[in-house]
Amino acid sequence: MAFAALAARRLLSAQLPSSLSVPSPASSFLLSAVNRLAPRASALALVLAKPFSTETTTTEKPPAQQPYPCVVIGSGPAGHTASIYLARANLQPVMFEGWMAGGVAPGGQLTTTTELENWPGGEKGLTGPKLMEVCREQSLRCGAEIRTETISKIDLSVRPFKLWPEGKEDEQPIRAQSVVIATGATAKRLRIPGEEQYWQAGISACAVCDGAVPIFRKKPLAVIGGGDSAAEEAIFLTKYASKVYVLVRRDKLRASKTMADRLMRHPKVEILWNTVPVEAKGDGKLLKSLVTEDTVTKKQGSLDVNGLFYAVGHVPNVGFLNSADGKPQLKVDADGYIVTTPGSSLTSVEGVFAAGDVQDRTYRQAVTAAGSGCKAALDCERWLESQEKH
Ligand SMILES: Cc1cc2nc3c(=O)[nH]c(=O)nc-3n(C[C@H](O)[C@H](O)[C@H](O)COP(=O)(O)OP(=O)(O)OC[C@H]3O[C@@H](n4cnc5c(N)ncnc54)[C@H](O)[C@@H]3O)c2cc1C
């Protein structure tokens, strides 16, 4: 419900001129004048002072737009924190919040959850969708421009960087001096019957986020997966659950030996080898059991559980970073997470910064994503200033 409501709201907000406006040369001129008075805005003043593109254009296409100082791609806690900081530094960020990019509504993964209990300072009853709505309002209030479009193509080979929104790949690109990538990651799901109905009503992709909620307390729970994440999530859940079943599709764990030993020794954990869930069943409101299948014998069984936690991995949203040859234009690790210089948001391409889950395979929390969005904005601001000196 919340998901649909947010999506509808975004669609409406996309009609608002303020969320779609592109700075005209006149307003940019005014801004540059204002920025000359603001010491922290020197980087923007530099960017605006640069001449318009000398690219040749055909008569069918409008002239290239003046490069933006910074474009933020993605609209979760990382993207909005970066936008708020960049806007407050008068860098006039333009955020592409996406439109169901990676299967997630603008606002990111938190739009798919309900109560958010671990956001510092969050009032009682704060929900993920509400937090992201407030973040969006704050970004706009601070001066960010938000476009409800997904970036589908990017060229990081030359500066200013070039970006194309989905459906506009043949048009003039958006140009940006710097880019903050905050496109998040999408939890893999099994798409079994009943999953949609009981998503966030017993089924979750985040034990750390949801494990402590009352519906799971002193109840039997199940975790799917055989890697380190599954082992960690299962051990975490033993704090609340009466029992934790770990469903492993093969006859061994992929987890490291230490994690596997801890898991197998835990008195509350039972590992069900060669087992996958094939259907989620409930009472119409909450999950109550799973239909399971033996991957070898194909025999089906039933498992009474009040919670099902997916720990089968995440897919970082980086497809748009691929060049024509299908290779990413900046360094990513074996699972597609953007590699950043430790302790910073710097990527392998100068002027491109990454924040949030798209570069974090370890923590993947709203507050860590927001913290890294702050780092990306500060790194970006400093980098733009350093360009001015050259
Ligand atoms: C069900 C669930 C419950 C959770 N509960 C909690 C919790 O209680 N507490 C907690 O701290 N964390 C929780 N988390 C984790 C938290 O949501 C994430 O860690 C956090 O949202 C990551 O933020 P992010 O900004 O990196 O990216 P995301 O939130 O993933 O947002 C990225 C956004 O960028 C958009 N995007 C992607 N590609 C593009 C593109 N090419 N162009 C434009 N836009 C694009 C996406 O559509 C998305 O809207 C939960 C996660 C899930 C799935």
Amino acid at 214: P
Which domains occur in the chain, in start order?
2-48 (no CATH), 71-187+316-388 (3.50.50.60), 203-312 (3.50.50.60)
> What is d(CA 108, CA 53) in angstroms, rounded to the nearest whole number?
34
> What is d(CA 208, CA 186) in angstroms, rounded to the nearest whole number?
16
Q: What is the pLDDT of residue 82?
A: 98
Cα 86 to middle of ligand 1, angstroms = 20
**Which of 71, 81, 97, 110 for a ligand 1 pocket mutation test, highest count of atoms within 8 Å of Cβ?**
110
> What is d(CA 201, CA 14) in angstroms, rounded to the nearest whole number?
30
Helix, strand and coil percent figures for the chain, each rounded to 5: 35, 25, 45
Answer whether 140's CB lies under 8 Å from 92's CB.
Answer: no
- Per-block average pLDDT, block size 10, for the chain (390 residues)? 36 35 31 30 36 42 81 98 98 96 90 87 94 98 98 96 97 97 93 94 90 94 93 94 97 90 95 97 97 97 97 93 94 96 97 98 94 98 90
**Quick one: 183 exposed, middle or buried, by C-beta within 10 A (0-12, 13-18, 19+)?**
buried
Q: What is the pLDDT of residue 269?
A: 97
Tokens of 200: 């966030």
- 170 annotated active-site: no
> What is d(CA 359, CA 369) in angstroms, rounded to the nearest whole number?
9
- Phi first, then psi: give them for residue 215, nearest 5 degrees: -65, -15
Closest by Cα among 390, 321, 373, 359 to 85:
373
Q: What is the pLDDT of residue 374?
A: 98
Q: What is the pLDDT of residue 315?
A: 92
- 70 annotated active-site: no
Q: What is the pLDDT of residue 63?
A: 67
Q: What is the pLDDT of residue 56?
A: 40
Tokens of 253: 């764990």
**Which of 80, 206, 233 for a ligand 1 pocket mutation test, highest count of atoms within 8 Å of Cβ?**
206
DSSP class of residue 336 equals S
DSSP class of residue 223 equals E
Q: What is the pLDDT of residue 19?
A: 34
Residues with CB under 6 A from ligand 1: 73-79, 96-98, 101-102, 104, 106-110, 112-113, 116, 118, 150-151, 182-184, 187, 204-206, 209, 317, 320, 356-358, 364-367, 369
Diameter of the chain measured on Cα atoms: 74
Q: What is the pLDDT of residue 61?
A: 59
Alpha helix ranges (H) inside 50-112: 77-88
Cα 240 to middle of ligand 1, angstroms = 25
- 209 annotated active-site: yes
> What is d(CA 34, CA 38) in angstroms, rounded to the nearest whole number?
7
Q: For the full predicted model, state whether its pTM sits above 0.95.
A: no
